[in-house]
């Protein structure tokens, strides 16, 4: 996922900086690691952050595109919030990568026992889906869009939920190591908090929207506390999108490596033009 973004000298310099902070050769892993290796959260999270930051730098260096956009607000889905924090000046790229590496390792460790996972519940009536999730003894981890709720918990209970979903729903297992954004991650919260205390979090220079409730966080301390606690808290991307609308946002740019959030935006908030960053770059 890094290969499209590391051709220039400045990109190679940033990749080297991020690799040093992560304690791993990110470009080599991205190019040569097996699918199983890439699915490990302690590997995937640093790669996701690197892809986001490298693509953002490439976009900034593409002057023809930059002049068409003015950044009025940022938000990130889960680990994407660390890229958002770098963009608005809260964290340096190296500090963000150091924290994400700690985060990935701590979340992987928290996922070892008991056996937990995540599934996306697609379709159905939202109130009925949430009622079924709560009745099944698992958690709502992500509210991504209308008809797309991610639930997390013990694998045994997720299997039971999948077999007893409300009418009009289907389950899609997610290739993740554990029950992220739930109470099962509390040990990771504690470990991350200790690391975050040693890092400087500056106040944002651009509006920073939290992924928990779509609220603006105005100080570095607020963002530090949020990034710490969001490991075990629900991601409410629906609220983020409502906030974008209320702020008068007209265009959204989704950083690398994917286009999932752009696809959601096109369905949920069609009046805002959504662009995966690769679509804005010269071919």
Catalytic residues: 78, 181
Average pLDDT, the chain: 95
Buried b (16+ CB within 10 A) or exposed e, 147-175: bbbbbbbbbebbeebbeebbeebebeeee
pLDDT digits (tens, 9 = 90+) for 15-28: 999 999 999 999 99
- Is the whole-model pTM more than 0.75? yes
Same fold, 3-111+186-233 and 116-173: no
| Digit-coded pLDDT (tens) for 25-49 | 999 999 999 989 998 999 999 999 9
Angle between helical axes of 93-110 and 80-87 (0-180°, round to 10): 160
Q: Over 80: is that where the pLDDT of 129 sits?
A: yes
The model's confidence at residue 63, banded by pLDDT at 50, 70 and 90, is: low
pLDDT at residue number 283? 64
Could you tell me if 76 and 255 are in contact, meaning their C-beta atoms sit under 8 angstroms apart? no
Domain regions of the chain by residue span: 3-111+186-233, 116-173
pLDDT tens readout for residues 64-93:
767 778 889 999 999 999 999 999 999 999
| Segment 205-223 mean pLDDT | 96
What burial class does residue 20 get, using C-beta atoms within 10 Å of its C-beta: 0-12 exposed, 13-18 middle, 19+ buried? Answer: middle
Domain 116-173 belongs to what topology? Alpha-Beta Plaits (3.30.70)
The pLDDT of residue 137 is above 90: yes
Instruction: Tell me which CATH homologous superfamily contains domain 3-111+186-233.
Output: Malonyl-Coenzyme A Acyl Carrier Protein, domain 2 (3.40.366.10)
pLDDT band at 166 (very low <50, low <70, confident <90, very high): very high
Find the angle CA(243)-CA(246)-CA(249) to the nearest 5 degrees: 85
């Amino acid at each position: 996922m890094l290969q499209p973004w590391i051709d220039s000298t400045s990109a190679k310099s940033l990749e080297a900086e991020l690799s040093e902070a992560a304690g791993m050769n990110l470009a080599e892993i991205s190019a040569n690691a097996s699918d199983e290796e890439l699915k490990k959260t302690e590997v995937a999270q640093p790669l996701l952050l690197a892809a986001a930051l490298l693509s953002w730098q490439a976009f900034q260096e593409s002057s023809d595109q930059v002049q068409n956009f003015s950044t009025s607000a940022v938000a990130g889905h889960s680990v994407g919030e660390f890229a958002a924090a770098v963009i608005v000046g809260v964290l340096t790229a190296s500090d963000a990568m150091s924290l994400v590496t700690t985060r990935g390792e701590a979340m992987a460790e928290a996922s070892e026992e008991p056996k937990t996972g995540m599934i996306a519940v697609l379709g159905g009536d939202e109130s009925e889906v949430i009622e079924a999730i709560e009745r099944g003894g698992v958690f709502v981890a992500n509210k991504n869009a209308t008809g797309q709720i991610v639930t997390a918990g013990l694998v045994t209970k997720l299997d039971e939920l999948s077999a007893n979903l409300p009418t009009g729903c289907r389950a899609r297992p997610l290739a993740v190591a554990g029950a992220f954004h739930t109470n099962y991650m509390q040990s990771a919260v504690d470990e991350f908090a200790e690391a975050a205390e040693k890092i400087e979090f500056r106040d944002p220079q651009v509006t920073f929207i939290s992924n928990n409730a779509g609220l603006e966080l105005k100080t570095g301390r607020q963002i530090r506390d949020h990034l710490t606690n969001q490991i075990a808290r629900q991601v409410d991307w629906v609220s983020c999108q409502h906030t974008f609308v209320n702020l008068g946002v007209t265009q959204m740019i989704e950083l690398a490596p994917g286009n999932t959030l752009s696809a959601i935006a096109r369905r949920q908030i069609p009046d805002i033009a959504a662009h995966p960053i690769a679509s804005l770059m010269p071919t």
